[in-house]
Amino acid sequence: MRTKLIVFITVVGLGIVGVFGWLGYQLFTTGFSAKTEPHALEVWMARQIRHLAIPIEKRNAQNPIPLSPDVMKESLAHFADHCATCHANDGSGQTPIGKNVYPKAPDLRLADTQSMSDGEIFWTIHHGIRFTAMPAWGEGDPAQDKGSWKLVHFIRHLPQLTPEELDRMKALNPKTKKDLEEEAAFGQFLQGDDAAAARTDSGHHH
């Protein structure tokens, strides 16, 4: 019995050493570049670690916020204003930031995210994920964080997002300095200031 235990521990130990050796080799060959794609084994390990890192009672928690049109409207606006910069309005992750961080922002519409429990999605939003671009958005006591629970509802809705909802989100996305300047110039133009529109047009050629 003792011999079998020693063999088992040895095999597990060698397996762990092998995995970390392989990861070290990958890091040595690719460096710290964020352009490389994580290997399937690395992705699998990261997901397992994330899953195990969430206390089981939190992992199995059900969404305490009832779904309603008002909740969906609020969470849509929150996602457009806070999350879409990395995740895109449709949750695809196809944004300049989402495509260039490491690991890349996942497509939230796919099974890898949609198969997570409500508790796991909430935990990820509230606490973030260390060593990734996913920040911790929750503030204070998780039990009081209704906003993250509302976002769970919206993330569940992403695969069914409508063109009308996408249009609404575009209007709610954060605006760049250039966007604000163009809006101000257009407003001045509507009020009869032709010179403001001319300045905006000339600015496009700098």
58, 127 in Cβ contact below 8 A? Answer: no
Residue 132: pLDDT band with limits 50, 70, 90:
confident
pTM: 0.69
| CATH code assigned to 38-174 | 1.10.760
Residue 156's pLDDT is 98
How many whole angstroms separate alpha carbon 65 and alpha carbon 119?
12
Q: Token digits for 40? A: 């399937």
Q: Measured between alpha carbons, how far is residue 97 from residues 34, 49, 155, 172 in Å? A: 11, 24, 19, 18
Residue 205's pLDDT is 45
Residue 20's pLDDT is 57
Residue 177's pLDDT is 72
Residue 179's pLDDT is 63
Residue closest to 93 by CA, chosen among 49, 132, 54: 132
SS3 17: helix
pLDDT digits (tens, 9 = 90+) for 18-32: 555 655 655 555 555
Give the residue extent of every domain in the chain: 38-174, 176-206
Residue 160: pLDDT band with limits 50, 70, 90:
very high
